[in-house]
Structure 1
């Protein structure tokens, strides 16, 4: 790669790397897995950098989403947790309602299939439209709507099953 393009890529990574890592962490639930995911996506983007025109971040995010969903499929959905198997995390011993709620929500989010998690990350963490999400994930807008609906219903069910601290005291 020529030096001006190399400098452009380096500047992109310096400017957007942490945001990409946050997105990857939201999808994987694991910091090391998120770092691996971002590193792989940036390596792919680097090899195509001279041909990337327009929104480079959107291009890299699409690689992130696609790679995460592909990894999930290859793993045979081993990380998927049955709704019945999600343990109740809150107890009377917890003193911070906010922390307990965040932990329960995080656990519930991690139990979702990768595609549903990617849809929720794009729609609600990144505040993307249905159309933008569909384009990034390479699916139809109706698929985004149905995946978001199913994911939110599952989250409501999972988080609703957790005993609030006030009720357990």
Structure 2
């Protein structure tokens, strides 16, 4: 295993696991405040996609040389990730949790309707490119587009019902 690939893959795994811990904590807190989960049936598909993506990166990229240009793009994306997490604060989760409060309208949410999904689209493509895995970027970008079509439709429907009430 190349050191660069090992460090990059280790970062991705630790980041994703940390996000799951944060999301679980935020979800519990929001539900305790009276929020409700909407359209949970596709969540397992999201988890499976991300696990398979990480698995493909590890399996096929463990001995790859890190591509510095793509790594720089990935680092910039992590700045965007922090901006999104900071903007949503305790409302950031990996599930669709609806709270009867105004939507977040600060940070990147002032400019883009779904910045977190845009970020995930970019990461699903860029992380494999860091390891020179163009085909992994293409395949998982296509699969992710299908999953996000389901996810965004469900979230938009949930938010419409929130605005109507």
When Rg is computed on C-alpha atoms for both structures, the one with the higher figure is 1
TM-score (normalizing by structure 2) = 0.32
Q: Which has the higher contact order (CA 8 A, sep 6+)?
A: 2
